[in-house]
Amino acid sequence: MLWPEHPLRSPPATSPSPSRPSAVSFPTLPRRGAVRLPRRAAAPPLRGETSTSAAVRESSARGAASASSAPNAMESEVVVAHREVARALASQAEARLGARLLPSAVPADAAEFHNGAGNAVGSLDVRRGAPGSTIDFMLQSSLHCKVSNGAIDITSLLIFLNASTDAPHFLMEFIQGSPASIVVILDLLPRKDLALHPEYLEKYYENTQVDKQREKIEELPQAHPYRSQSLFVRSACSPTAILMSIDCGQGGESTLEEIVRGQLATAARELLEIWLNSCADHTSEMEEDQAVY
């Protein structure tokens, strides 16, 4: 997520490495089988994608589908509830930001990718901010990776602002390591030290009542606080961050899906709406010693 030399400070132009699916550490998961989920129809071409690259993607999808008859082949695309939530939020952000986002220019081999070993498949979309806007970039990514104790599905949506504003960034990440459990990270990432700048805390976190979303998720009986092993990650998040582990227990797959599509989707949508209303249009230039945030 936000380690000191985080590559997202300069969005990737090539296929990301599935060997490091997320900077956020998560607890060791019990040994379970990989999630067997239905295939979804091929996604429409990304903005800025040519008909040629769309044809390449379609051809790749057909090849993956034919290979799925092999016993250990990866699914051409794995559908999970939190990925659909992320796509809906990305569409919501795109509709509001409009011309402030440039068209996607991600090449076809990075927009949908897999590794040579055949145990990881993912997608990536990066849209940079238009000149003169407060947007640095919006990144949407997903990764399905087989591991020794099952499979991991990670979905991320980040909208980072540039140095023309000191307003917080938007961060959403879902890490699903078993069919019935998930780690949730939702936050408006502060760009100032909140202890040294109480007016910043009041403006973006108290006045917006953003903490209500965290309180709603904490009320779920399946929700428990999640503590990253990274001290940097803990220090980078705001005090209103939703850092939760949701475990629905053995046989709780349908319950988890209901929570993801219900309470989690609502909290993420409300948080994004607060960010769009209070942060995306704010123009208070970063001080020179804070420009790295």
pLDDT given for residue 42 in this prediction: 40
Give the residue from 179, 136, 175 showing the smallest Cα distance to 6: 136
CA distances from 284 to 161, 162, 178, 233 (A): 11, 11, 43, 25
Give the residue from 60, 141, 56, 64 showing the smallest Cα distance to 107: 56
Task: Indicate the pTM of the whole model.
Answer: 0.72
pLDDT tens for 182-197 read 999 999 999 999 999 9
Dmax (CA) of the chain: 59
Domains of the chain: 78-103+116-290 (3.40.1500.20)
pLDDT tens for 250-273 read 889 999 999 999 999 999 999 999
> 243 φ, ψ to 5°?
-120, 90
pLDDT tens for 15-66 read 444 444 444 443 443 443 433 333 434 434 433 343 333 443 344 444 344 3
Per DSSP, the residues of the chain read ---TT-GGGS--SSPPPTTS--SS--PPPPP-PPP-----PPPPPPTT--HHHHHHHHHHHHHHHHHTTSTTPPPSS---HHHHHHHHHHHHHHHHHGGGBPPP---HHHHEEE-TTSSEEEEEEEEEBPTTSSEEEEEEEEEEEEETTEEEEEEEEEEEE-TT--PPEEEEEEEEEETTEEEEEEEEE-SS-TTT-HHHHIIIIITTTTHHHHHHHHTSTTEEE---S-HHHHHHS-TT-EEEEEE--TT-HHHHHHHIIIIIHHHHHHHHHHHHHHTTT---PPPGGGTT-
